[in-house]
Structure 1
């Protein structure tokens, strides 16, 4: 995985899904695929496994699953810990274009 600082420093919005690998992931994967398909190259959509990136999750105080964040130019613009539907996530990302 690229360095987190490099990922979030993009001028485009970056939607990140911090998740744990378990049964609900399938729903989130489909949701994120829909979001990525609609946004195209206007934004980045990234999934980060909490278990495989514990230090990063701890540093960002990720306590729940899933936790979504939107970054732009290295700055966190939005954060929510709970399931989100594709339309909600698309609308949120579009606010930061």
Structure 2
């Protein structure tokens, strides 16, 4: 499944009302560790049809970043049934990201 660009406009429909767990990647273009995590997140999206994967640019979606208390990036958040099921800050290898799910 393709990676979704999550905005405050589509957040409710794509994340809160999703029937699948959603992996959210909070990132910014100027963030080095974000650039390391991004291809891993893309890979997971391509491999797993049982989850949704969305990316949230913190520079463009400050409101969502604030809502999730994102202080450092990359921050990965797993949402299940509209609730935060897991959260992790910082770059990590693929197996650690998969373990969050």
Asked if 1:37 is matched to 2:18, the reply is no
Q: More deviation in 83-92 or 46-55?
A: 83-92
In the alignment of these two chains, the number of paired residues is 92
| Counterpart in the other structure of 2:63 | 55
Contact 2:27 2:57 in 1 (8 A): yes
Equivalent positions of 1:81-92 (< 5 A) are: 81-92=89-100
The offset of 1:21, in angstroms, is 1.3
For structure 2, the residue ranges without an aligned partner over 5 or more in a row are: 1-6
TM norm structure 1: 0.83
Cα distance in 2, alignment partners of residues 5 and 50 from structure 1: 17
2:19 is aligned, of 11, 27, 37, to: 11
Q: Which residue number in structure 2 is paired with residue 67 of structure 1?
A: 75
Structure with the higher helix share, 1 or 2: 1
Structure 2 length normalisation: TM-score?
0.80
Q: 5+ residue gaps in structure 1?
A: none
Structure 1 moving runs of 4+ over 6 Å: none
- The Cα shift of 1:77 comes to 0.1
